[in-house]
A and B are shown apart, each in its own frame.
Chain A
Amino acid sequence: MKTGKVIMGQTRNRHKRLDWIQRLFLLLVLCLTTLLGVILCSSPETAPGLADAVAHLQGRSGVESPVTAVLLNFRGYDTLLEVMVLLLAVIGAWSLTKAPLPDQITDISPVQLGVVRLLVPVMCLVAAYLVWQGSHLAGGAFQGGAIIGAAGVLLLVSELPWLRDIPPLPLRIGLVLGPLVFVGTALFCLLWTGNLLGYPEGAGGWLILLIEAACALSIGLTLALLFAGGRPENELVKADKQTDFPCNRESL
């Protein structure tokens, strides 16, 4: 209750009681929820899904896991566009603010440093394992990317001093590696088989693994950089000092 009051005070939401239009809206939302509940209850138990179609074409997809087959083979367009959405989110975040990294170098406790040193390599290993496992079990680029992103968040939370000195160009290359490999593979398949993302017979498994490995790295970097909340601070300074603009061109 106490925290609730504090938040209420901070956000200037002083409506302790709902006025009549809010009550009307509450009624409407309740009606909508009840209607949805009735629809859900009355829907047939075994809805005709696409499970049989996926199982039918599973052998030709190149991977054994049905979710990965749907994600990167049958509905490859969707995943391609979603990877692009992630890239757009980072570009939007970078164009708005700089990352609020602390100015002074703080002392990191040795326990935290030890935990980071132990955990981050293990997390990278688990991410690689998840990407590899994606071909036959649950796993894949998004799961692996989430773990890489968590490792990046751990590094950012620890406020390690070398985080400000990350060179800008490899960071950006890592960010666009996944989308570039995805688009490149799609165009290669367009030239080779005549269909965008229509993998050639027999090569589907390796192409999917290649795309997944590149996308996992990019998704992980994307999530960590979104957590950082803006573009890296040292970047523009360096570019101004050197009067060398390869990184700026990269960002465009």
Chain B
Amino acid sequence: MITTLLYSLTGMVLFGMGLFTLIVHSHPLRKILAVNVMATGVFLILVATAYIPFGKGAIDPVPHAMVLTGIVVSVSVTALALILACRLQETSNLDLRAKTKQSSNTKESGT
């Protein structure tokens, strides 16, 4: 009971830390890391609640199956988010440079 509660509370603290970072920090990499930390917290809570101290089965298999697929899906989501963040950085920098050039050009032509 104590162990399960410890796991659940740790997962909950991880969730809170991830949520705070997700909203406060603006950099995409930090946001992706924060979402991962939140997901880990949720997985920890699910696995801890799946534990049954005494009963017929040793575990509740439904949360375990959800965590199992959730881990693989979170890995793929992280990869896609990282690639999107990289593309965002490349394209936004190029756009910014082009816009600053354009605006300086128009200013010069206007004056």
A46 vs B64: C-alpha distance when bound (angstroms): 16
**Nearest Cβ distance between residue B57 and chain A, in whole angstroms?**
4
Alpha-carbon gap, A55 to B80, bound state (A):
37
Supposing A13-B25, A49-B62 touch, asked if A82 and B79 sit within 8 A by C-beta, the answer is: no
User: Is there a chain A Cβ closer than 8 Å to B13's Cβ?
Assistant: yes
Would you call B19 and A29 a contact (CB within 8 A)?
A: yes
Residues of B with C-beta under 8 A to A79 = 65, 69
B60 within 8 A of A: yes
Asked whether B43 is an interface residue with its Cβ less than 8 Å from the other chain, the reply is no
**Chain B residues near A54 (CB-CB < 8 A):** 57, 60-62
A51 touches B52 (CB 8 A): yes
Indicate whether A227 sits within 8 Å of B62 (C-beta atoms), given known contacts A51-B52, A82-B72.
no
Q: In the complex the two chains form, what is the Cα distance from A223 to B30 in whole Å?
A: 22
Residues 54-98 of A contacting B (Cβ, < 8 Å): 54-55, 66-67, 69-71, 75, 78-79, 82, 85-86, 89-90, 92-93, 96-97
Name the CB-closest residue of A to B56. Answer: A55
Residues of A within 8 A of B23 (CB): 25
A226 near B15 with CB under 8 A, answer no
Binding site secondary structure of chain B: helix
Q: How many A-B residue pairs have C-beta atoms within 8 angstroms? Tell me.
A: 138
CB–CB A29/B16 < 8 A:
yes
Contact A36 B15 (CB under 8 A): yes
Cβ–Cβ < 8 Å partners of B12 in chain A = 33, 36-37, 40
Q: Name A227's contact: one of B16, B19, B79 (CB within 8 Å).
A: B79
B65 CB contacts on chain A under 8 angstroms: 67, 70-71, 75, 78-79
Given contacts A33-B16, A75-B62, contact A51 B76 (CB under 8 A): no
A-B contact pairs, 27 of them (CB 8 A): A11-B27, A12-B27, A25-B23, A33-B12, A37-B9, A37-B12, A40-B5, A40-B8, A46-B53, A46-B55, A71-B65, A71-B68, A75-B62, A78-B66, A79-B65, A82-B72, A85-B76, A86-B72, A92-B83, A142-B69, A146-B72, A219-B72, A222-B76, A223-B75, A226-B80, A229-B79, A230-B83
